[in-house]
Amino acid sequence: MSHRKMFSGAQLKSLRKEAGYTQEELAQRVGISRETVSAIENNKPETMDNIGVGVVNKWWSICRQTASQQTRESFFSSVMDYFGFNLG
């Protein structure tokens, strides 16, 4: 069992919305179903436990251009926490 922190579905949802994508549009770009996007955004445990770094990376790559500075910093912090990096 992993002790790493999970990515926040709410944070990924916020990132998607800032980028102006619907769940369906983002799903097509990432290569997953709209239902999977919804499950991720709603922190469904069975989906969050299986979410791959590749999916998060694609999600970020697609949405980062229009993300606010605050969202980019928050996302970066989440990635650092997820991988157990300590900047301090």
- Where in the chain are the domains? 9-80
Helix, strand or coil for residue 23? helix
Q: Which amino acid is at 59?
A: W
CATH number of 9-80: 1.10.260.40
- Provide the sign of the torsion angle of the four alpha carbons 36, 39, 40, 45, taken in this order: negative
- Residue 57 vs residues 1, 27, 30, 54, 76: alpha-carbon distances, Å: 22, 13, 9, 5, 11
Provide the pLDDT confidence category of residue 2 given band limits of 50, 70 and 90.
very low
The model's pTM is 0.79
pLDDT by residue (tens digit) across 40-62?
Answer: 999 898 887 788 888 888 999 99
CA atoms in the 13 A half-sphere facing the CB of 73: 3
What was the pLDDT predicted at 88? Answer: 57
Residue 67: pLDDT above 90? no
